[in-house]
Every structure is written in structure tokens, then in C-alpha cells.
Amino acid sequence: MPTIDLNSDLGEGFGDYRAGDDAAMLAVVTSANVACGMHAGDPQIMARTFGLARERGVAVGAHPGYPDLWGFGRRVLPYTPAEVERLVVYQVGAAQALATYAGHRITYVKTHGALGNLAAANDEVAMAVARAVRAVDRDLSLLAIALSAQVRAGEALGLDVHQEIFADRGYTEEGLLVPRGQPGAMIEDSEVAAERVVSMVREGAIIAGSGKRLPTPIRSVCVHGDSHYAVATARTVRARLEQAGVTVAPFRPAA
């Protein structure tokens, strides 16, 4: 069985507002995607999250999204690819600075929400994200939605690309995420989520809601950190992977 990373989107509060239990999640996951202040997060939360991740031995990455605090970055905003490129550069730079301040180092970038979904389907936006990552630091990896335009763009620009699947989201027959709000979009039962993850890792394929298999390399599994069942799902996924003989470790640990 392969070695698999377990990642989660963390640091997604703002000011006094908190989203999810980051401390509990950092005791389970091997990589943390830290919000960079646009869709969520702020300098205080970012520094605290990077510092706690360092203490727990968890790898960290920048998690850039649209500048959309009200919509939590889950609404597509009318930015051109060039504007998206600069938005990502801005956020990755902020993450690098605050991680360094906290004594840690980001090793990868993963786009958030609507920006990530658009980059998965739109070649121009995917290339904008990949160009931004390469421009800031070509040694950064790109954590990309499996079988997506993100993967193709990152590989075309020579980035180190790692493909991820989602434990708590359903898939269409095309290998895309079922849009939130539609039936089958969210998987709230931790045992069901874990069983699906183990099956996908064993088979090396995304499993759509219909049962269709779409073969793909899988290097990381994401559990979203902002739901009430997030920590339970992450714990169950990790336990079931380890019971299946999978080594759970970061795909790109900090040096």
C-alpha cells in the first residue's frame, strides 16, 4: 500500500470568529492548508496556526482563495486570470512570511473553494495559479484536485504536483466534486467516508456516486476542517487507512 498524506483546511476563522477545531485537527492530520486572509484567516490566526503546526510536526501549505469573507470563498468572483495570478502571489507571500515568523516553512500551495473548483475545470485559471506558485518559489509543491486542469497546468510548468481526493465530498462521473447543496455533495458519516477513502486508495481511482471508477494517482486525502463532524471524520479516515496497512505521512514535510 502507498504512503498517503492527510490534509485539512485550517486557520479559517477571522478576528474573534472561529471555524472548526484546529487544535484537535492538528493532532490527526499530517498537512495543514492555512487560509491566507482573503476568504478567511488573519495575521494573528495564521501565525498561531503555523506555530501550533510546527509544535505538532505537521507540514503546512498556503491556502489562497477569492477575497470573499462574506461568502467564505465559495462564490466565483469576476477576476481575470492575470488578477487571479496576482491574488495567489499575494497570499502565498503572506503565508511564507507568517510561517517564517512562527518558525515554520510552507512547502506547498492548495487553492480554496470556488477558486480551487474553477482552477480544476478552467485551463486558463489553472495556469494562472501555477504561474503564481512558480513565480514566488518554484520549489513549492502544488496540491491539486486529482484528474483536474490544476494537475496539467502544474506539470506543464515543471512544478512538483501531488493529487488529492476528498473524504467528505461526493464525485460526479466526470471526477469533479458534486456542487455543495446538491444531493450527495457532502458525506457526513465518518465510517462511510473512511470506507470510501480506503477503497479509492486501494484501487488507485476516484469512485463516483454512480460507482464509476476513474483511475488516478492519489497522494493526499482532504478532510474539510469547518464542519461539526470534521475531527471525527479525520480520526476515522486515518485509523482505517492505517488498519489497511497505509502509512500516513506528509507528502512534503518541512525541512
d(CA 243, CA 119): 34
Question: Which residues, 6 or more positions from 85, have their beta carbon under 8 angstroms from its beta carbon?
Answer: 128, 129, 131, 132, 135
Closest CA to 91 of 142, 25, 37, 155: 37
Distances (CA, A) of 63 to 8, 186, 240: 10, 21, 27
Residues of the chain above pLDDT 70, percent: 99
> Look-up: residue for cell 476516484?
206
pLDDT of residue 164: 98
Q: What mean pLDDT do residues 116-135 have? A: 97
- At residue 64 the predicted structure's pLDDT band, cuts being 50, 70 and 90, is very high
- Model confidence, pTM: 0.96
Whether the pLDDT of residue 255 is over 80: the answer is no
d(CA 180, CA 141): 27
Closest CA to 101 of 45, 58, 40: 45
Classify 4 as helix, strand or coil.
strand
pLDDT digits (tens, 9 = 90+) for 3-50: 999 999 999 999 988 888 999 999 999 999 999 999 999 999 999 999
pLDDT digits (tens, 9 = 90+) for 150-167: 999 999 999 999 999 999
- At residue 99 the predicted structure's pLDDT band, cuts being 50, 70 and 90, is very high
Q: What mean pLDDT do residues 91-96 have? A: 98
